[in-house]
Amino acid sequence: MESTSLLKLDKICKSYYGNRVLKDVCLEIKKGEIHGLVGENGAGKSTLMNILFGMPVIQQTGGYEGDVVLEGNQVCFTCPSEAMDYGIGMVHQEFMLIPGFTVAENIKLNRERTKPNVISRLIGKKMETIDVQRNRHDARASLDRLGMSFDEMMPVGGLPVGYMQFIEVAREIDKENTKVVVFDEPTAVLTESEAEQFLDTARKLANDGLGVLFISHRLDEVVSLCDRITVLRDGEVVALLNRGEASIQRIAELMVGRQINRLADRKKTVQVNKPILEIRNLAVEMPGEKVKEFDLDLYEGEILGVGGLAGHGKIGIANGIMGMYPATGSLVKQGKSLPLGDTMLMLQENMAFVSEDRRGVGLLWDESIEHNIIIAAMQSQKKFLKRVTPLLTIEDRKKIHEHTLKMIKDLDIRCVGPQQLVKRLSGGNQQKICIARAITLSPDILFVSEPTRGIDIGAKRIVLDLLLQLNRDLGVTIVMTSSELAELRSVCDRIAIIYEGRLEGVLPPDAPDLDFGLMMAGEFEHKGADQV
Amino acid sequence: MIPEQKELKPNTNSPLIKIKRKLIEFAVPLLFLVLCIIGAYYARLQPSFLINEIIMRMARNPVLVLALIIPVLAGMGMNFAIVLGAMAGQIGLIIITHYEVTGITGVTVAALIAVPFAIVFGYLTGKLLNRAKGKEMITSMIFGFFAVYVWQLFFLVFVGSIIPMRNEKMILSTGVGVRNTVDLVGIRYALDDIIKIRDLPGITIPISTLIVVALFCILITFFMKTKLGQDIRAVGQNMEIAAISGINVDKIRITAIIISTVLAAWGQIIWLQNIGTLNTYGSHVQVGLFAVAALLIGGASVAKANIWQVLLGTFLFHTLFIISPTAGRNLLGDAQIGEFFRVFVAYGVIAVALVLHAWQKHSAAKNK
């Protein structure tokens, strides 16, 4: 292997609104090297990539510190096309392909070969004719280089998902000056054999002298493919492993390892023999968060954590049960079988949901605090209504007001008054409103998804305390879904880890880091769901 | 963006399925073809009259419909704001009538004067539509209505008072405002008459105008094969991906609207040189509506359109226009009913097409 440094990220620091997300991150890619980058969600991988690609969000939030050095020259990209001009290619996690265009058109998108004509000579380059044959030829050459045989003139829309990834790669290597290619979770949507083929492709590219940065959650692939592996945790590089030093266990441990501050200091009083909710064969069609065949028993009075990596379906579970997305399977609550897909019924059955999508689903953005808190209870349980005449019911202003004031006081919602619009509140306070609405339903099961997403550290603590308090004082059974494992481990009694839409296993919060890491990577031997 | 989860389509080579596909694809034009045939039967018009009328309309109308294609391909839907283009064309015509430039020179000068106006109007429309992504059609429609009244204010109040205009034939007797109708006698048939075939009894064929129409068709076909055309198609398919590939999406969309507006200006001039009088406050009002209806009848959708749909649609829509008053009178004893019918058709087709499109989009999103 040659040892010339191709791309070097040196002491990169970045903070969003005073929140430090990257700290002194160093990463070097050599010529012909495949470099792995692993880390949990929120470890700072995306931010690092955003810096590398000059995504506008970086500049908008105050830029970054540290140096990006490409072939010995210091560079600072302010927009993605600049990064592309310098030879940095990106294969996106979501396909950036136009379905109505042919494979060739997609590969040559905005880099089409053109030939001049009469009009272009008068008006300018924009009027040059597209040279279909040469574009086709170029596309073919790139596909051949990848060992792909499918027709370059087919529209992308009808192709199997597996091909699309290769088209993306073909596009990057078609760029003449590509020096570094970044693969962001390239194998997530591929079948095993496709993934195998894909890894071969990556090796081929590295042999051709490109630098490859490989970001993946599939640790087995990272271990077998990469020459060196950088492990990120909480915005810091915790290890740089060479081939041979790295094993799945080692990486898993490094990724997760951190001190856990246990917030819940109580002794367990959960009755394991008394399930309050039995979930069987749950499948949810939530785009990007599909759940397939999920089985779990929820015990009365517990706080169950649901964890796993993004895209593996943890978000889909609560959404499916509450009828936000089409779901199939069976659901038995306290011996009573419930049909899936009826949100109103679920609310009436005393199950409440705090959505992860606070802005879209969670809150009535342009409405008052008051309305946001009472709306669900009013709709589903006819609370806060008074009958004026037999045919006319109106809202009970006095009761609403009293209840809202109580909630504001109890949950310590910082606001000007019950009439303030929720969009004017901070993220933490908005989250409290969501929880207040759920409490108003007086549920016995509360689903909370990503309760601390997008709120600052102080508020996070308050929200978590609030959930604990609910559980302790009101006996509410809580199912908390979160991308932050540390958070789950600090409050939950049991933590279920989801991998590829299925339950990978259930762990106690004090289980070793290694187990969590392995489970999230799907490498844990399938232990029974009820073993804990 | 959610990655598409489509599997390879099942075998679609069975001839029966192919025929069925074609039938569905051409359902709208076929329906209108049937309507036209029934209408023609009941109208009992003289064939030579009917053919003559159709040829005349096929010469004077397609350019206005062609103006719609590029915004559709740019993903902006039907550009109802071609009304502004029509206005630009009319400004050109009013100016040349004022200075009494006549004949084909007059038409050419009017077309040239119209261009800067159309570019400015198109730029403004494009800017506006960029702020209303996803709602371009309704925005362009309302913007068109708005422009109609700005036009009125301008030509009814400002011309003669703020802007001096002394041609007595054009100004109202009060000295302020342009007359309701401006006689375009100086340029009437100026384009049509360059080459005209009158060999057949009752039928005149304005070859020169037809050639101009053909040229515009070729120009647009050529244009869509250029780099700019490819960019427009990419933006039309997916703005996000186009932007990531380094295409300046907003600029491309504005360009598409400018081209559309300029074409509409020329289309309106071609139309009015055939009509011969300018209805100052009325000629442009329904240009957008009728052009959109024609294109939709031709089988286009708000996301897909081509030259052949323009030509077919213009043919069918205008045939219906010619026959419906007489067919209405013969069938129901009242020409007015036929007239109602064709306005009903224009609006109805647009409504149905929009609903269909929304429905298709919805079910496509569901199937993902």
A240 vs A27: CA distance, rounded Å: 9
**Same-domain check for residues A372 and A435:** yes
Q: Could you give the CA distance from residue A385 to residue A396 in angstroms, rounded to a whole number?
A: 5
Q: Are residues A245 and A129 located together in one domain of the fold?
A: no
- Provide the pLDDT confidence category of residue B351 given band limits of 50, 70 and 90: confident
A263, A308, A357, A427, A428 from A453: Cα distances, Å: 18, 15, 9, 9, 9
A161 chain-B contacts, CB cut-off 8 A: 3-6
Question: The pTM is what?
Answer: 0.72
Q: Give the pLDDT confidence score for residue B249 in this predicted structure.
A: 92
Rounded to 5, what percent of chain B is helix, strand, coil?
70, 5, 30
Q: Over pLDDT 70: what percentage of chain B?
A: 95
Whole-number Å distance between alpha carbons of B53 and A405: 75
Query: Do A146 and A279 reside in the same domain of the chain?
Result: no
Q: Evaluate whether A183 touches A212 at the Cβ level (below 8 Å).
A: yes
Query: Distance (Å, rounded) from C-alpha B82 to C-alpha B364?
Result: 30
pLDDT of residue A258: 55
Together in a domain, A117 and A77: no
Rounded to a whole number, what is the distance in Å from the CA of B11 to chain A's nearest CA? 12
Supply the DSSP string of A299-328, one letter for each residue.
Answer: ETT-EEEEE--TTSSHHHHHHHHTTSS-EE
CB B114 within 8 A of CB B270: no
Q: Which tokens is A274 given?
A: 């008394």
ipTM topping 0.85: no
Whether residue B244 lies within 8 A of chain A, CB to CB, comes out as yes
* B100-111 tens-digit pLDDT: 999 999 999 999
> Are residue A362 and residue A288 in the same domain, yes or no?
yes
> A51: helix, coil or strand?
helix
Beta bridge partners, A34, equal A212
Question: Which one of A98, A109, A288 has the shortest CB-CB distance to B2?
Answer: A288
How many angstroms separate the CA atoms of B97 and B192, rounded? 18
- Cβ neighbours for B326, distance < 8 A, ≥ 6 positions apart: B43, B44, B45, B335, B338
- What pLDDT, on a 0 to 100 scale, did the predictor assign at position B52? 92
> Average pLDDT, stretch A117-123?
83
pLDDT of residue A530: 42
Residue A532 has pLDDT above 70, yes or no: no
Q: Is residue A269 part of a domain?
A: no
CA distance B137 to B353: 12
Give the torsion through C-alpha atoms of A315, A320, A326, A327, to 10 deg: 120
Tell me which DSSP letter residue A158 carries.
G
**A421 domain residue, yes or no:** yes
Kindly state whether residues A141 and A38 are assigned to the same domain. no
Closest chain B residue to A154, measured at CA:
B8
Q: What pLDDT digit, counting tens, does each position of A228-284 carry?
A: 999 888 788 888 888 888 887 788 778 776 555 566 555 555 556 678 888 888 998
A-chain residues near B245 (CB < 8 A): 96, 109-110
User: What Rg, from alpha-carbon coordinates, does chain A have?
Assistant: 26
Show the CA angle centred on residue B112, arms to residues B260 and B110, nearest 5°.
100
**What is the residue-wise DSSP string for A221-243?**
HHHHH-SEEEEEETTEEEEEEET
What would the pLDDT profile of B222-271 be if each residue is shown by its tens digit?
999 999 999 999 999 988 888 878 888 999 999 999 999 999 999 999 99
Disruptive mutation site among A130, A133, A182 for chain B (greatest number of B CBs within 10 Å): A130
Is the pLDDT at B60 greater than 70? The verdict is: yes
pLDDT of the residue at A479: 92
The token pair that represents A39 in the structure block: 């880390």
User: Is A84's CB within 8 Å of B7's CB?
Assistant: no
pLDDT at B146: 95
DSSP letters, B14-32, are: -HHHHHHHHHHHTHHHHHH
Q: Do A112 and B227 touch (CB under 8 A)?
A: yes
pLDDT at residue A396 tops 70: yes
Distance separating alpha carbons of residues B84 and B88, to the nearest angstrom? 6
Cα angle B86, B88, B92; round to 5? 115
Q: How far is B150 from chain A (nearest CA, A)?
A: 33
User: How large is the average pLDDT for residues A330-359?
Assistant: 86
pLDDT, tens only, A441-469? 888 899 998 887 767 666 777 888 888 88
- DSSP 8-state symbol, B154: I
Q: Return the pLDDT at B3.
A: 40
Q: Which residues contact A347 (CB under 8 A, 6 or more apart)?
A: A376, A379, A380, A381, A441
Task: Give a yes or no: residue A314 inside a domain.
Answer: yes
In this structure, the answer to whether residues A82 and A102 fall within a common structural domain is no
Q: How far is CA B100 from CA A461, B103, B269, in A?
A: 81, 10, 16
- CA atoms of A302 and A318, how far apart (whole Å): 16
pLDDT, tens digit (0-9, with 9 covering 90-100), for A185-215: 777 767 777 788 888 888 888 888 888 999 8
Where are the extended beta strands (E) located within chain B?
A: 181-183, 277-279
Please state the separation of Cα A221 from the chain's center in Å. 20
Do A126 and B226 lie within an 8 Å CB cutoff? yes
For residue A222, being part of any structural domain is answered with yes
Residue B311 has pLDDT above 80, yes or no: yes
pLDDT of residue B4: 39
Helix (H) or strand (E) holding A215: strand A211-215
Compute the radius of gyration of chain B from its Cα atoms. Answer: 22
Count of pairs with CB atoms under 8 A, one residue in A, one in B: 88
- B4 contacts in chain A (CB < 8 Å): 95, 99, 157, 161, 164
Residue of chain A whose Cα is closest to the Cα of B229: A127
DSSP A335-393: TEEE-TT-HHHHHHTTEEEE-S-IIIII--TTSBHHHHHHHHHHHHH-TTEEEEETTEE
Residues paired with A27 in a beta bridge: A9
- Together in a domain, A113 and A201: no
Chain A residue numbers with beta carbons less than 8 Å from the beta carbon of B5 are 161
Task: Give pLDDT, residue A526.
Answer: 46
Q: Do A447 and A422 fall within a single domain?
A: yes
Choosing among B219, B228, B301, B361, which should be mutated to test the A contact, i.e. which has the most A CBs within 10 A?
A: B228
On whether both A316 and A436 belong to a single domain, the answer is: yes
The set of residues, in sequence order, having a beta carbon less than 8 Å from that of A266 and lying 6+ positions away, is A472
Domain assignment of residue A266, yes or no: no
Band (B366; pLDDT cuts 50, 70, 90) = low
Phi, psi of B137, rounded to the nearest 5 degrees: -65, -50
E strand spans, A111-175: 114-115, 129-130
Number of Cβ atoms within 10 Å of the Cβ of A463: 24
Q: Which residue has the higher pLDDT, A128 or B127?
A: B127
CB A168 within 8 A of CB A91: yes
The residue written with tokens 């003139």 in the block is A153
Q: Does residue A264 belong to any structural domain of this protein? A: no
User: CB–CB of A38/A231 below 8 Å?
Assistant: yes
Q: How far apart are CA B180 and CA B282, in angstroms?
A: 9
Q: What is the largest CA-CA distance in chain A?
A: 86
- List the CATH number of the domain containing A427: 3.40.50.300
**Residues of chain B numbered 245-274 and touching chain A (CB < 8 Å):** 245-247
| Residue A19 parent element (H or E) | strand A19-30
Q: Is residue A138 part of a domain?
A: yes
Residue A416: predicted pLDDT: 80
A94·B3 Cβ contact <8 A: yes
Asked if residues A489 and A260 have their Cβ atoms less than 8 Å apart, the reply is yes
Mean pLDDT computed over A490-516? 86
Number of domains in chain A: 3
pLDDT, position A177: 81
d(C-alpha B33, C-alpha B27), whole Å = 10
Tally of helices (H runs) and strands (E runs) in chain A: 18, 24
Contact (CB, 8 A) for A330 and A308: no
3-state secondary structure of A71: coil
Q: What is the mean pLDDT of residues A215-231?
A: 86
Mean pLDDT for chain A overall? 83
Distance from CA of B120 to the nearest CA of A (A): 19
Q: Is residue A51 in some structural domain?
A: yes
Residues A146 and A58 in one domain: no
Amino acid identity, position B277: T
The length of chain A, given as a count of residues: 532
In 10 A of CB B301, how many CB atoms? 18
pLDDT tops 60 at residue B281: yes
A22 and A68 assigned to the same domain = yes
A35 burial (CB, 10 Å; 0-12 / 13-18 / 19+) is buried
Select the residue of A105, A157, A287 nearest B2 (Cβ to Cβ): A287
3 state DSSP class of A81: helix
CB of B1 within 8 Å of a chain A CB? The answer is yes
pLDDT, residue A531, reads 43
3-state secondary structure of A9: strand
Closest CA of chain B from A368, distance in Å: 27
Cα distances from A44 to residues A82, B205, B335, in angstroms, run 22, 71, 73
In the chain, the amino acid numbered A487 is E
Range of the domain at A109: 98-160
Contact list, B8 vs chain A (CB under 8 Å):
158-160
CA separation for the pair B301, B364 (Å, rounded): 15
> Looking at beta carbons, which residues of chain B come within 8 Å of A107?
none
Longest dimension (CA), chain B: 73
Token pair of B157 as six digits: 């109040």
Q: CB distance A158–B8 less than 8 Å? A: yes
Closest-CA residue of A relative to B226 is: A129
